[in-house]
Amino acid sequence: MAEVLFIGLSLASILLLIALGLSITYGTMGVINMAHGELVMFGAYVTVLGITHLHLNFFLCLPLAFIVTGAIGYAIERLLVRRLYGRLVDTLLATWGVSIILIALIRVEFGLAFFGVHVPGLGPGLQNVPIPAILSQPVALWEGFVFQPYRSFIIVATLGLVVLTWWILSRTAFGMQVLAVSRNRTMAACCGINDKRVNAWTFAYGSGLAGIAGVMLSGFKTVFPDMGTPFVIDGFLVVVVGGVGSLLGTTVSSGILGELTGFIASVTNDILARAVVFAVIIAIIITRPRGLFAFKGR
Amino acid sequence: MRVDRRKFLAGAAAGAATVTGVPHLWIRDMDQVWAQDAKEIKVGVLYSLTGTTAIIEKSMSQVTQLAIDQLNKKGGVLGRKVVPVIEDPASDPKTFSEKANKLVVGDKVPTVFGSYTSASRKAVLPVFEKRNNLYWYPTYYEGFECSKNVIYTGAVPNQQQENFVPWIIKNLGKKKFFIVGSNYIYPREMAKVCKILVEKNGGQWIADEYLELGHSEWGAMVKKIKDSGCDVVYSNVVGDSVVAFYREYKNQGLDMRKLPICATVTSEIEVQAMGPEFAVDSYTSFPYFQSVNNAANHKFVEDYKSFAGKDAVTHHALECAYFQVFLWAQAVEKAGKIEPEAIREGAKGQEFDAPEGHVKIEAENLHTWLTPRIGQVQSDGQFKIVDEYKAPIRPLPYSAYGETNDNLFCTAKGLDASKLKKT
């Protein structure tokens, strides 16, 4: 039973990891970023390249991925999203296009493949990410329950990121500006907040979180160019169920969905688990259309 | 939009130039427009370069081109240069069908080399049967097919499982099988054959579970394996899921030496991607491993590494994609003409010294005689060959239904459906 709960907790933490960045970009800015999964994938590839070429420690890849994907997110916002404010469907399409470009960039190794140059760590194949030794030895505890250090590391790190995000949003001046802009952009601008700059940095932060998610997932999920696509779907489900714009909502809904998936998968199988979870999500959306912890009033 | 005269004239000129320059648009038979080039033979190369199965198929496309290069260096086939027409079906069976149509009907190639997944082969089969063309399929598959328009150069279950299951029961002493696979035709059919062999050899299969292709969350499944009381895991998992599976296996504390994974699809590529430490002491059954020790294989591995990079690895499907090109060349030379039916007749009985050893195309069912081997993963990511047949054995695509060497179900006359009994 403890193992089933642990699996559920681990699934929840992975969902939360991905949904956190999405809840920032979608929740506070109302921008549907279809390229979010690809930013996660980029974080994974930064890890692969960092370990292969720069001989970095796995943990050092975390801030590196944050910076790289944050920069890409900043660029996406300034070049693309900014011109499409208020046009939700157009943003969706544009960011979908960005996601295709990002996948293709990895596949053709940023253009080098056309010249016959192969960079180890890029290309359409599977990539290997070696996990640091302290995280890779499972420890057998009581009653056949095996302590998995890597999954536990992800749970701890995710909670840390949630706390960090909450702290930034509620205890710093920048966070206050983010919340102001997301509630009422025009009024915030009238009060002297540079809403365009705030949006750019918000998007960059959300994308940076995606990069960190990519680093942590690269340790036990397969790293290949299409790995990001399934993540963005799960991420949106979590954000929408939790309530757009609510950090607590995202956390709680990822916990519920993760534990539910883990429990049903252990009893029957993963395919049925997914179907049941979708049914539950539909039920929640029908009864509470704005999610579990919707922000009241706009 | 206002169309003024200038724009109209420019558009009309562009349109006229396009139509005259690309006669495909308005002339149906291309032979009337450009003379057939007597110095070239075009062949279709149909492997995914993008999408999920590009992981394996891109290398198969490249090794086909390598083989064609080597052929051309030796003077080509029938004195003509072989030109590959490369298409990318993007890991989607429907696109496979469209591209196959384009190659056979549009480019009029006499032969196409292609496919990795059974789903894609099934999707293109109608094209080749309807147009009486020839498809060379290099990947090991589940059998149960007898098309006279396909030459199958990969292993069928009797060449992969008939040696494997008895070996597991006798040599490893494991009797309780937990069968796990990806949810599509190949793993399901392989599981059918496995169950028959397990019961025939005195073992017992405890479970038969499936997860979607590409599924990467194995926590619950591995826990099921732990709780099931099995002593060996028989894996028909395909593709990138393999990496997540083996990693989760070790992360949950399972030991390959006590509870080994015996796989039919895990090759050098997946082992390299997951990191050898996650696969050490597991087993796979293939006719070919990169570690096969003969001169032809050493040269092949060397050629491939100088072509694809020193970290590249070779594997069974890759090696079949490579040697089938040479078998094709021999078939064309024997046929003397470049027509699919003649090439097929020329291919029957063709023999070649492939990197895995001697291979021969069986004249009755168009499958290939291969040498079954079993390999154990070592810490460097290569396989140590722990079991090997002395000579290649005959392919029996219907072995699970009772086909034997003396009682062939699939012959040159076609499939004898009356022999298929309900299993």
Residues B110/B339, Cβ–Cβ less than 8 Å: yes
Question: Touching check for B214 and chain A: CB below 8 Å?
Answer: yes
Confidence of residue B26 (pLDDT cuts 50, 70, 90): low
Instruction: Please check whether residue A32 lies inside any domain of the structure.
Output: yes
Structural domain boundaries, residue A177: 2-287
Domains, chain B, in order of start with CATH, read 37-155+287-371+395-423 (3.40.50.2300), 159-286 (3.40.50.2300)
Partners of residue B210 in chain A, C-beta under 8 Å? 269, 271
Asked if A220 lies within 8 A of B248 by C-beta distance, the reply is: yes
Instruction: Please check whether residue A210 lies inside any domain of the structure.
Output: yes
- The structure's pTM equals 0.80
**Sign of dihedral through CA atoms B181, A231, B277, B357?**
positive
User: Who among A123, A150, A226 is closest to B251 (CB)?
Assistant: A150
Question: How close is the nearest chain A Cα to the Cα of B104, in Å?
Answer: 27
Report residue B235 as tokens: 């894996």
Instruction: Give the residue from chain B lying closest to A263, CA to CA.
Output: B220
Asked if B215 lies within 8 A of A270 by C-beta distance, the reply is: yes
Asked if B250 lies within 8 A of A220 by C-beta distance, the reply is: no
Q: Which residues contact A64 (CB under 8 A, 6 or more apart)?
A: A46, A50, A56
User: Who among B59, B240, B308 is closest to A222 (CB)?
Assistant: B240
Task: Name the packing angle between helices B295-308 and B54-73 (round to 10°).
Answer: 110
Picking from A136, A108, A106, the residue whose alpha carbon sits closest to that of residue A44 is A106
For A129, B132, B160, B244, B422, the CA distances from B274, given in Å and listed in that order, are: 8, 42, 23, 8, 40
Residues A275, A273: Cα–Cα separation, whole Å = 5
Report residue B169 as tokens: 């029961």
Instruction: Give the residue from chain A lying closest to B271, CA to CA.
Output: A128
The predicted-structure confidence for A203-253, as pLDDT tens digits, reads as follows 999 999 999 999 988 887 878 888 888 888 889 899 989 888 788 889 999
Asked if B244 lies within 8 A of A222 by C-beta distance, the reply is: yes
- Which of B86, B217, B224, B248 to mutate to test binding with chain A, by most A CBs within 10 Å of its CB? B217
Question: Touching check for A213 and chain B: CB below 8 Å?
Answer: no
Instruction: Give the residue from chain B lying closest to A107, CA to CA.
Output: B50
Q: Collapsing DSSP states into helix, strand and coil, what is residue A192? A: coil
Report residue B57 as tokens: 């198929």
Q: What is the value of ipTM here, to two decimals?
A: 0.77
CATH number of A185's domain: 1.10.3470
Question: Touching check for B380 and chain A: CB below 8 Å?
Answer: no
Asked if A7 lies within 8 A of B219 by C-beta distance, the reply is: yes
Strand pairing category for B414-415 and B410-411: antiparallel
**DSSP string of A117-143?**
---TT-SSS-B--PPPHHHH--EE-GG
The predicted-structure confidence for A53-78, as pLDDT tens digits, reads as follows 888 888 888 999 999 999 999 999 99
Asked if A222 lies within 8 A of B216 by C-beta distance, the reply is: yes
The predicted-structure confidence for B204-258, as pLDDT tens digits, reads as follows 999 999 998 878 888 889 988 988 889 999 999 988 788 889 988 988 888 889 9
Instruction: Please check whether residue A45 lies inside any domain of the structure.
Output: yes
Q: Could you tell me how many CB contacts below 8 A there are between chain A and chain B?
A: 102
- Our count of domains for chain A comes to 1
The predicted-structure confidence for A8-58, as pLDDT tens digits, reads as follows 898 899 889 889 988 888 877 788 889 999 999 999 999 988 888 888 888
Asked if A126 lies within 8 A of B217 by C-beta distance, the reply is: no
The predicted-structure confidence for B292-349, as pLDDT tens digits, reads as follows 998 999 999 999 998 888 888 899 999 999 999 999 999 999 988 888 999 999 999 8
Instruction: Please check whether residue A176 lies inside any domain of the structure.
Output: yes
Residues B327, B323: Cα–Cα separation, whole Å = 6
Q: What is the 3-state secondary structure (H, E, C) of chain B?
A: CCCCHHHHHHHHHHHHHHHHHCHHHCCCCHHHCCCCCCCEEEEEEECCCCCCCHHHHHHHHHHHHHHHHHHHHCCCECCEEEEEEEECCCCCHHHHHHHHHHHHHHCCCCCEEECCCHHHHHHHHHHHHHCCCCEEECCCCCCCCCCCCEEECCCCHHHHCCCHHHHHHHHHCCCEEEEEEECCHHHHHHHHHHHHHHHHCCCEEEEEEEECCCCCCCHHHHHHHHHHCCCEEEEECCCCHHHHHHHHHHHCCCCCCCCCEEECCCCHHHHHHHCHHHCCCCEEEECCCCCCCCHHHHHHHHHHHHHHCCCCCCCHHHHHHHHHHHHHHHHHHHHCCCCHHHHHHHHCCCEEEECCEEEEECCCCCCEEECCEEEEECCCCCEEEEEECCCCECCCCCHHHCCECCECCEECCEECHHHCCCC
Residues A194, A173: Cα–Cα separation, whole Å = 13
Instruction: Please check whether residue A294 lies inside any domain of the structure.
Output: no
Instruction: Please check whether residue A292 lies inside any domain of the structure.
Output: no
